[in-house]
Amino acid sequence: MTVLCRDCFCWHEEKAATHGAIGRCPSCGSPRLARHPELSTLSIGHIDCDAFYASVEKRDDPSLFDKPVIVGGGRRGVVSAACYVARIHGVRSAMPMFKALAACPHAVVIKPNMAKYAAVGAEIREMMREVTPLVEPLSIDEAFLDMSGTARLHGGPPAETLARLAKRIEDRIRVTVSIGLSYNKFLAKVSSDMDKPRGFHAIGKVDAAAFLAEQPVSIIWGVGKTLQRTLMADGIRRVADLQGHSERDLMRRYGAMGQRLYRFARGEDNRRVEASSPVKSVSNETTFDGDITTAEALRPYLWKLAEEVSGRLKRKGIAGSTVTLKLKTADFKLSTRQRGLQAPTQLADRIFRVANDILTHEADGRRFRLIGVGVSDLCGEALADPPDLAEPDLDRRRRVETAMDSVRAKLGDGAILKGRGLGAGRMKQSPSDKPPPDED
């Protein structure tokens, strides 16, 4: 068994007899050892920050150090991140806030400061790029790193480089990370979850199949609640149950997903770590403090979201020709409606008008808890918002918006507002291209 000390980075071989024992590093005495027979050859890493939003808040306010901290929206929102103290009380990310507070009434609740987390996330990403150019971010706080062929450059195998990186992040950013190491993306991501927080876990070719066999099928990327239910009905609960089926059999039953199930169940995943996956959509959504029914009451929120999405499109210099409106009802039914545009847009006014038109049809008396708007089918801004023969006012409206943008750039976002945004209250927004809630 090959062993790496995660504190002094020295390597040694452990005798088979001590397998599983909690040994200590022979050089520095640290118990933080990474062990795996293939430790010196595995090269696909997954780095995931521990309770990221909460960790950042704790870092910036030391008085929170030993307190349960929950980062999330108001009374109605969901938990975006819960620190490990809060987790002792049963708080989990994506849990509705009222449930979280019932479980842990003395928790300190902090409104998410996305700009801050994004900045810290970007710093960490920069540090990742120092060790390999092949960094594929999955969200604001996690990424795949393909470390193949970096051993000579860094003077040690990927495992060591990653362990050193984890320590550097901890020292410099003062946020802990967990590392998963394997021979493909799927297993690397699974590994990083095995030893949280501040963990290091490796899965190699020798133990992948046996390890997976014991896991529930939901561990496979792409198996959500619905598919899990289908699989359950077919008697498939653990990955081991999948391993018993032939590829043909699974594909016949589940189509293309069947092939993925077959391969992933065997620890096969040939997706490559792609350094840049282009943005496909820009969207934003908000959960209300209380359910809202009428289009009139939803409109101010929609306008603010449209402005926010438009702002991001403008900053990125892109535009899109599909507008999507997302609504979630009080009983958590999700509806998304799309509308194609005649020409790509990046204007808040245009995004709002199209989404508002859909909204008018959708607001049929149902109670909504969430509204979101997104723009997709993206292209460069050169083609955006051409003058329009059927809307001679469009150009004037574009100039108004550009003027408002420049006032805001100088004097701040609140310097000038449109009346249609009034009444939205203060919003907790979850912008995305596409960072989901910080799950760890």
Among positions 356-415, residues that touch another protein (CB under 8 A) are: 357, 379, 382-383, 386-392
Q: Which of 81, 110, 354, 373 binds another protein (CB under 8 A)?
A: 354
> Is 144 or 352 the residue whose CB approaches another protein more closely?
352
Is-contact 306 375, C-beta < 8 A? no
Relative to beta strand 44-49, strand 79-82 is unpaired
**195 contacts another protein (rule: CB under 8 A):** no
Count of residues touching another protein (by CB under 8 A): 18
Q: How far is the CB of 343 from another protein (least distance, A)?
A: 7
Q: How far is the CB of 401 from another protein (least distance, A)?
A: 18
**118 contacts another protein (rule: CB under 8 A):** no
Residue type, 75: R
> Is 10 or 279 the residue whose CB approaches another protein more closely?
279
> Is 78 or 305 the residue whose CB approaches another protein more closely?
305
User: Which DSSP symbol is given to 191?
Assistant: H
> Is 217 or 378 the residue whose CB approaches another protein more closely?
378
Cα–Cα dist 6/352, whole Å: 52
Residue 48: its H or E element: strand 44-49
> Is 133 or 387 the residue whose CB approaches another protein more closely?
387
Q: How far is the CB of 383 from another protein (least distance, A)?
A: 6
Pull the structure tokens for residue 296: 């009139």
Cα–Cα dist 388/185, whole Å: 47
Q: Which stretch binds another protein (CB under 8 A): 164-172, 269-277, 339-347, 406-414?
A: 339-347
**342 contacts another protein (rule: CB under 8 A):** yes
Q: How far is the CB of 70 from another protein (least distance, A)?
A: 40
**207 contacts another protein (rule: CB under 8 A):** no
Handedness of CA 22, 28, 33, 38 (dihedral sign): negative
Pull the structure tokens for residue 73: 């929206």
User: Which DSSP symbol is given to 156?
Assistant: S
- Sequence-separated (6 or more) residues with CB below 8 Å from residue 413: none
The question of whether 381 is a catalytic residue gets the answer no
Relative to beta strand 108-110, strand 69-72 is parallel
**339 contacts another protein (rule: CB under 8 A):** yes
Q: How far is the CB of 275 from another protein (least distance, A)?
A: 21
> Is 86 or 323 the residue whose CB approaches another protein more closely?
323
Write down the residue that tokens 């847009």 correspond to: 345
Q: Half-sphere exposure of 361 toward its Cβ, with a 13 Å CA cutoff? A: 12
Pull the structure tokens for residue 370: 């969430």
Q: How far is the CB of 282 from another protein (least distance, A)?
A: 18
Q: Find the catalytic residue in 38, 57, 136, 142.
A: 142
User: Which DSSP symbol is given to 107?
Assistant: P
Q: Which stretch binds another protein (CB under 8 A): 42-50, 61-69, 128-136, 338-346?
A: 338-346
Residue in 103, 108, 67 with CA at minimum distance from that of residue 84: 67
User: Which positions are annotated as active-site residues?
Assistant: 142
Residues that bind another protein (CB under 8 A): 339-343, 353-354, 357, 379, 382-383, 386-392
